Amino acid sequence: MSALAPTSSASRTAQAALAALTRAGLRAAEDAKRSDTYMVVAENGKVLHITPQEFLRERDEPPAQSNAKTSD
């Protein structure tokens, strides 16, 4: 059982880190919205300037399915 404890701890740490990043992104979007500015984000190695509304919309959209092309 002791072998499972580090994995469990690492999993909890990773989940906490993702939650913190999500909250930081939402705070950044709220700040940008209040100050009527764009957000600077990186996507696929490119720097993009998007509106806070676009950021929130993309965040709420379900991820595109990569299996869609293989259904031919």
48: phi then psi, degrees, rounded to nearest 5: -120, 150
12 in any annotated domain: yes
Residue 2 has pLDDT above 60, yes or no: no
46: phi then psi, degrees, rounded to nearest 5: -115, 145
16 in any annotated domain: yes
Q: In terms of Cα–Cα distance, which of 43, 67, 72 is closest to 55?
A: 43
Total domains in the fold of the chain? 1
67 in any annotated domain: no
More confident of the two residues 67 and 56: 56
* Angle separating helix axes 4-35 and 52-60, nearest 10 degrees: 150
68 in any annotated domain: no
pTM for the model stands at 0.58
Give 38-65 pLDDT, tens digit per residue: 998 888 999 999 999 998 898 888 776 6
72 in any annotated domain: no
CA atoms 56, 62, 66, 71: torsion sign: negative
Domain enclosing residue 25, as ranges: 4-61
- pLDDT at residue 72, as a whole number: 47
66 in any annotated domain: no
Answer yes or no: are the C-beta atoms of 49 and 40 closer than 8 Å.
yes
